């Protein structure tokens, strides 16, 4: 009887292992069907340097651990040190990409081909074909290439990244460190990630192993469709640490079609500076929970100003889509065709209202225009700070219409809120501040123990702070 039980338990254990193994995806067919359309991209450029013929661009090299940086840059590097007389020496770099049309259009990252004099695309059958740079979009770090004399080439199938959900299996094919056709797999960790350096790309975060050389390569779903372009990693060591980011394919195809058809990319523009709504700001503006994009500043002559948007408005919806995080708004606006109208639901002074705005074209240089200020009076306040009238010259240089200048901050609510000397206060508890007298009146009316918002301008940038008097 004991022997029978032991055998029975062993059989159950084997069955459980077999069931677990069957639940894991098998990527072999997916790789066989798609690897032919994945390409290795090598570039070269000539410039006066002493870095020699390294296999990585400077940007890629900076992602490597210091040991490897020293190896490739050092005097004993097998890649040489270039001409000591400072003459032009070829600099090479490598990355990945994939073919999206039979006549040879290729998608990759802008930083893979940036500054290249020559671009060579190597296919899985070892053919090496020259390619021409059709156009780039540095804002999304995308580039479009065209293989010269491309005809009847293998292509990938394009999927929809908007359908992605955290937990889905994904697979990458690329050339990390120059090792061609390396396959790595993982899951989608998150979607809609905003990175500090990118405002218009809602990145897909994965735990797929991505390293220098993978840049520009495709990210596949289990149906064999490309749903992202591997672009960046988060690392403290220079190598993979389990956090990778891919450009969603929906965004990438929009950029690709504009570059292919027009040679450049035009993005929608609202003309506002926004910030996140945290718990205290939500309380001070009368929101039940933190959500939306708080408008800290409306630019002069922008679509937002013409539509009647104001600083202190919180955008809750854009064209019917909920704005949960402030980072949700820029991609929504960016993919709206220039000249089209969009509807916004905003919270203003505790009331919800709808506004229509005609989306403009994102300018190359989005400097904020200033307007002439007006002011008067000096004073101290009970919030732990001293304010004075705002000098006209300073107001003009900061692009501020009105406000009061903070000259000193001591212990108290202002210091706790993050107010600093030389900040300009333009709004307190949703009341516009145009003079020291108005500031005094607003402070006197502040509710005790309740979070209130304060709009400040610091070094030309507007932001909202929260304090509890």
Neighbour-count burial of 290, counting CB atoms closer than 10 A to its CB (0-12 exposed, 13-18 middle, 19+ buried): middle
420: Cα separation from own chain's centroid:
29
Q: In a 3-state reduction of DSSP, which class is residue 39? A: strand
Quote the CA–CA distance of 284 and 287 in Å, as a whole number: 8
Q: In a 3-state reduction of DSSP, which class is residue 85? A: coil
State residue 221 phi and psi, 5-degree precision: -95, 180
Cβ neighbours around 206 below 10 Å, total? 30
Among the listed residues 183, 158, 170, the one whose alpha carbon sits nearest the alpha carbon of residue 31: 183
N- to C-terminal Cα separation, the chain: 77
Helix intervals (H) in 173-290:
249-262, 279-285
Neighbour-count burial of 460, counting CB atoms closer than 10 A to its CB (0-12 exposed, 13-18 middle, 19+ buried): middle
Q: In a 3-state reduction of DSSP, which class is residue 170? A: strand
What's the maximum distance between 2 C-alpha atoms anywhere in the chain? 98
Catalytic residues: 111, 141, 215
Q: What angle (nearest 5°) sits at the alpha carbon of residue 46, between those of residues 255 and 64?
A: 70
Among the listed residues 171, 153, 158, the one whose alpha carbon sits nearest the alpha carbon of residue 102: 153
Q: In a 3-state reduction of DSSP, which class is residue 19? A: helix
Cβ neighbours around 322 below 10 Å, total? 11
- DSSP state for residue 370 in the 8-state scheme: P
Tell me if 345 sits within 8 A of 315, measured CB to CB: yes
DSSP 3-state percent helix, strand, coil across the chain (nearest 5): 25, 35, 40
Q: What angle (nearest 5°) sits at the alpha carbon of residue 262, between those of residues 259 and 266?
A: 75
Q: In a 3-state reduction of DSSP, which class is residue 352? A: strand
Quote the CA–CA distance of 384 and 343 in Å, as a whole number: 42
Quote the CA–CA distance of 292 and 314 in Å, as a whole number: 6
């Amino acid at each position: 009887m004991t022997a029978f039980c032991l055998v029975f338990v062993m059989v159950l254990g084997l069955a459980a292992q077999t069931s677990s193994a069957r639940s894991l995806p098998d990527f072999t067919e997916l790789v066989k069907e798609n690897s032919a359309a994945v390409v290795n991209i090598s570039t070269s450029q000539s410039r006066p340097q002493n870095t020699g013929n390294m296999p990585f661009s400077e940007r890629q090299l900076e992602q490597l651990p210091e040991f490897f940086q020293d190896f490739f840059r050092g005097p004993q590097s097998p890649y040489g040190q270039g001409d000591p007389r400072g003459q032009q020496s070829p600099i090479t770099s490598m990355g990945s990409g994939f073919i999206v049309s039979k006549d040879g259009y290729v998608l990759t990252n802008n930083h893979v081909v940036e500054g290249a004099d020559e671009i060579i695309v190597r296919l899985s059958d070892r053919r090496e074909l020259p390619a021409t740079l059709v156009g780039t979009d540095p804002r999304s770090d995308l580039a479009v290439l065209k293989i010269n004399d491309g005809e009847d080439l293998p292509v990938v199938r394009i999927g929809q990244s908007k359908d992605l959900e955290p937990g889905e299996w994904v697979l990458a094919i690329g050339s990390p460190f120059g090792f061609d056709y390396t396959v790595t797999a993982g899951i989608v960790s998150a979607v809609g990630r905003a990175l500090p350096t990118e405002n218009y790309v809602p990145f897909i975060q994965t735990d797929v192993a991505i390293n220098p050389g993978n840049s520009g390569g495709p990210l596949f779903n289990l149906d064999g469709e490309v749903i992202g372009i591997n672009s960046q990693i988060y690392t403290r060591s220079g190598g993979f640490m389990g956090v990778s980011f891919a450009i969603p394919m929906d965004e990438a195809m929009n950029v690709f079609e504009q570059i292919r058809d027009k040679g450049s990319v035009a993005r929608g523009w609202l003309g506002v500076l926004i910030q996140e709504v945290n718990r205290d700001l939500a309380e001070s503006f009368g929101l039940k929970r933190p959500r939306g994009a708080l408008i800290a500043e409306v630019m002069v002559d922008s679509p937002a100003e013409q539509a009647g948007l104001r600083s202190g408005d919180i955008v809750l919806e854009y064209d019917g889509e909920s704005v949960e995080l402030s980072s949700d708004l820029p991609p929504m606006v960016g993919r709206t065709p220039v000249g089209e109208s969009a509807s916004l639901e905003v919270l203003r002074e505790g009331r919800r209202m709808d506004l229509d705005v005609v989306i403009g074209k994102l300018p190359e240089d989005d400097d904020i225009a200033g307007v002439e200020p007006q002011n008067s009076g000096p004073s101290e306040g009970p919030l732990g700070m001293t304010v004075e009238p705002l000098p006209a010259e300073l107001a003009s240089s900061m692009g501020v219409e009105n406000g009061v200048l903070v000259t000193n901050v001591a212990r108290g609510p202002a210091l706790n809120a993050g107010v600093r000397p030389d900040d300009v206060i333009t709004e307190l508890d949703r009341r516009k501040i145009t003079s020291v007298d108005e500031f005094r009146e607003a402070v006197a009316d502040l509710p005790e123990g309740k979070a209130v918002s304060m709009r400040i301008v610091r070094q030309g940038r507007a932001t909202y702070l929260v304090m509890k008097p």
